[in-house]
Chains A and B, each alone.
Chain A
């Protein structure tokens, strides 16, 4: 597609444009499940190094092994066309990994916040994070079996969301369902920029 920007290297190799989308939400909300359902490759993991409390500690020589751990992040890929790829990154659930969120969120197109209606408040920190940084997001209400069915208006009220933030029901295990959430996100991003994507 000519309208899509890509780099042409000297040798004529086309370098695709990669867009980052974050999959966030509380512990056990279905982040890993959603990334796996959507990814065209086996879901991959990448690890980041945690050097004690320090986010930006660059030189860790001399640090004792035991105080050094890594945190795994799930990621998956969706190829839109030869010039355009989406990368989905599941955010680490625990608060002490906030500094990793900054790295993940840098330049991200937007985020999906998965909400588990049995523990709605677990996704408050994710919502706060994206609101504070002005990163567009949608809320995917993950329909776990046995969870009481809430209507979306109730969820929206409980989460105290801005009226323009889309709230969508989803099943994180289902590719089609996850796909609709991503489409909802990209359309939301387009609207935020005042460039709505026409409904096909």
Chain B
């Protein structure tokens, strides 16, 4: 009879906590709120020097680099990686600190300069 594969055991982990806690081990227990930047609809774009195969990067970092060869907003990255936004913000912060990504924070609605944007939205919606 085959023995069950040994399970990693931490006394502060249980089955219910597993999927929630894992991202924290990934980020060393850090989470970030939107106040630190990385709005849900900020677009992230990998820089030319970012290499998704870089062995120095953790798999999740590499995945982010891979996904952001075109601009992708933070919320979509979190959905794609199936990680909480607070965790993705930390990972993005790591990449930003290494100069591997650029962040394009959105305009806030009140600073949208003219009504052309609203006109474009209405006619775009009408055309749907």
By a beta-carbon cutoff of 8 Å, the part of chain A in contact with chain B is 1, 3-5, 7, 9, 11, 13-20, 44-49, 51, 55-66, 68-70, 75, 77-78, 80-81, 84, 86-87, 89, 103-104, 106-110, 175, 179, 182-183, 186-187, 189-190, 193, 195, 197-198, 200
A-B pairs with the 9 shortest C-beta distances? Answer: A65-B17, A61-B29, A80-B124, A107-B108, A195-B115, A18-B41, A3-B116, A44-B79, A47-B84
A104 touches B40 (CB 8 A): yes
Q: Chain B contact residues (Cβ within 8 angstroms of A): what range? A: 35 or more
Interface presence of B7 (CB below 8 A): no
Please, how many angstroms separate the alpha-carbon atoms of A191 and B44 in the complex?
32
A20, A57, A62, A175: most-surrounded residue (chain B CB, <10 A): A20
The residues of B that contact A44 with a CB separation of less than 8 Å are 75-76, 79
B62 to chain A, nearest CB (A): 20
Q: Within B71-128, which residues are at the interface with A (CB < 8 Å)?
A: 71, 73, 75-76, 78-79, 83-87, 102, 104, 106-110, 112-126, 128
Q: What 1/0 flags go to B22-48 for Cβ under 8 Å of A? A: 001000111111111001110101001
Which of A55, A183, A198 interacts with B125 by CB under 8 Å? A183
Instruction: Kindly list chain A residues whose C-beta atoms are within 8 Å of the C-beta of B29.
Output: 59-63
A-B contact pairs, 28 of them (CB 8 A): A15-B104, A18-B43, A47-B83, A47-B85, A48-B85, A49-B86, A56-B33, A58-B36, A61-B29, A62-B29, A64-B17, A65-B21, A66-B14, A68-B24, A80-B120, A80-B125, A84-B121, A86-B121, A106-B34, A107-B39, A107-B106, A108-B109, A190-B119, A190-B122, A195-B115, A197-B122, A200-B122, A200-B126
* B58: A residues at CB distance < 8 A: none
**Interface centre among B43, B45, B114, B125, by most A CB within 10 Å?**
B125
Known contacts A49-B84, A110-B109, A195-B114; can you find 5 more A-B pairs with CB under 8 A? A3-B116, A3-B117, A11-B48, A75-B79, A106-B108
Report the separation of the CA atoms of residues A15 and B12 in the bound assembly, to the nearest whole angstrom. 43
Judge whether B78 and A16 touch: CB under 8 Å: no
Instruction: Evaluate whether A20 and B106 lie within 8 angstroms (CB atoms) in the complex, with A64-B12, A183-B126 already known.
Output: yes
* CA A77 to CA B41, docked complex, whole Å: 11
Contact for A45 among B12, B28, B79, CB less than 8 A:
B79
List the A side residues contacting B45 at CB < 8 Å: 9, 13, 15
On whether A58 and B32 interact (CB within 8 A), knowing A4-B117, A80-B121, A183-B126, the answer reads yes
Q: Contact partner of B120 among A59, A84, A108, CB < 8 A?
A: A84
CB distance from A162 to the nearest CB of B (A): 19
* Residues of the B chain whose Cβ atoms lie less than 8 Å from the Cβ of A81: 120, 124
Choice from B24, B71, B85, B128 contacting A60 with Cβ under 8 Å: B24
